[in-house]
């Protein structure tokens, strides 16, 4: 009964491909996030959704498109993958946008 | 620009030593400061600090916030090898409710 679950955990793909990462939380939280952690372990926010509404959209290339079909799910689709997209992508959720974040275990994306 | 600056970025200590990690943050619209521990996978929550001068403790870990000097300290006493991890500090701001992370303190505890 994982609280925040992401799939896939590992993804290896070629440049130019399109891929998706899925995230689900069973905590009943109303806010979900995508973070990118680079090779230097720096965690940077990409997107945040509150009750299916986009509330944070950092300066992320528009090749990245989040989709929230309901408040328990936030998926991330990436078009035309580039080498620099290689990173660990963390999904997270929180209640009320001001509380602690609960993180998924991460999806390690490697672009060759 | 970095809203959250952590130091030292990495350190190696022996079991039993005490570790002190620093995190400084920007004041504008500051709401609270959070500490996370990241071992191999997901960051896990340690503390949330909102009020200045009130220490929070959990076992051998403790943390305090200084809202005058704009920093927080995370202390780990009697370190064990299981304390080896990256410790992430993050500040939360009113308005955008955005959690900004620092680059982390990498701690290695050797037997």
User: Looking at the domain that runs over A4-111, which CATH code has it been given?
Assistant: 2.60.40.10
For residue B32, list chain A residues with Cβ-Cβ distance below 8 A.
98
Confidence check: pLDDT of B1 > 60: no
Q: Report how many domains make up chain B.
A: 1
Q: What is the pLDDT of residues B58-108, one digit of tens each?
A: 999 999 999 999 999 999 999 999 999 999 999 988 876 678 899 999 999
- pLDDT score, position A78: 96
Written as one string, the DSSP assignment of A73-111 is EEEEEE-S--GGG-EEEEEEEESTTTS--EE---EEEEE
State how far residue A111 is from chain B, nearest Cα, in angstroms: 20
Residues in chain A predicted with pLDDT less than 50, given as ranges, are none
Q: What is the CA radius of gyration of chain B?
A: 13
Q: Do A103 and B99 touch (CB under 8 A)?
A: no
Q: Do B42 and A45 touch (CB under 8 A)?
A: no
Paired tokens of A91: 């999904």
What CATH number does the domain containing B68 carry?
2.60.40.10
Q: Which of B72, B58, B66 is nearest to B21 (CA)?
A: B72
State which residues form the domain around B95.
4-110
Q: What is the pLDDT of residues B17-55, one digit of tens each?
A: 999 999 999 888 888 999 999 998 899 999 999 989 899
- CA geometry: angle B89, B92, B93, nearest 5 deg: 145
Mean of the per-residue pLDDT values for chain A? 91
Whole-angstrom distance between the N-terminal and C-terminal Cα of chain A?
A: 34
Paired tokens of A25: 């939380």
Q: Do A42 and B96 touch (CB under 8 A)?
A: no
Q: Do B104 and A90 touch (CB under 8 A)?
A: no
For residue B106, list chain A residues with Cβ-Cβ distance below 8 A.
41
- pLDDT score, position A1: 62
- pLDDT score, position B9: 93
């Amino acid at each position: 009964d994982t609280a925040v679950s992401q799939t896939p955990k590992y993804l290896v793909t070629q440049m130019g491909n399109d891929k998706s990462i899925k995230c689900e939380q069973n905590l009943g939280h109303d806010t979900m996030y995508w973070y990118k952690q680079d090779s230097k372990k720096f965690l940077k926010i990409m997107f945040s959704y509150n009750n299916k509404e986009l509330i944070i959209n950092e300066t992320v290339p528009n090749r990245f498109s989040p989709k929230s079909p309901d408040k328990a799910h936030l998926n991330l689709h990436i078009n035309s993958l580039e080498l620099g997209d290689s990173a660990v992508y963390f999904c997270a959720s929180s209640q009320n946008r001001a509380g602690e974040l609960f993180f998924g275990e991460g999806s390690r994306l490697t672009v060759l | 620009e970095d809203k959250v600056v952590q130091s030292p970025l990495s350190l190696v200590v022996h079991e039993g030593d005490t570790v002190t990690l620093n995190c400084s943050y920007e004041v504008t619209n500051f709401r609270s400061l959070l500490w996370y521990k990241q071992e191999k996978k997901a960051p896990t929550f340690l503390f949330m600090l909102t009020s200045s001068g009130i220490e929070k403790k959990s076992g051998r870990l403790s943390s305090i916030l200084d809202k005058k000097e704009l920093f927080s300290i995370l202390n780990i006493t009697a370190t064990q090898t299981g304390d080896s991890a990256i410790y992430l500090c993050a500040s939360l701001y009113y308005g955008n409710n955005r959690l900004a992370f620092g680059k982390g303190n990498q701690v290695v505890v050797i037997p």
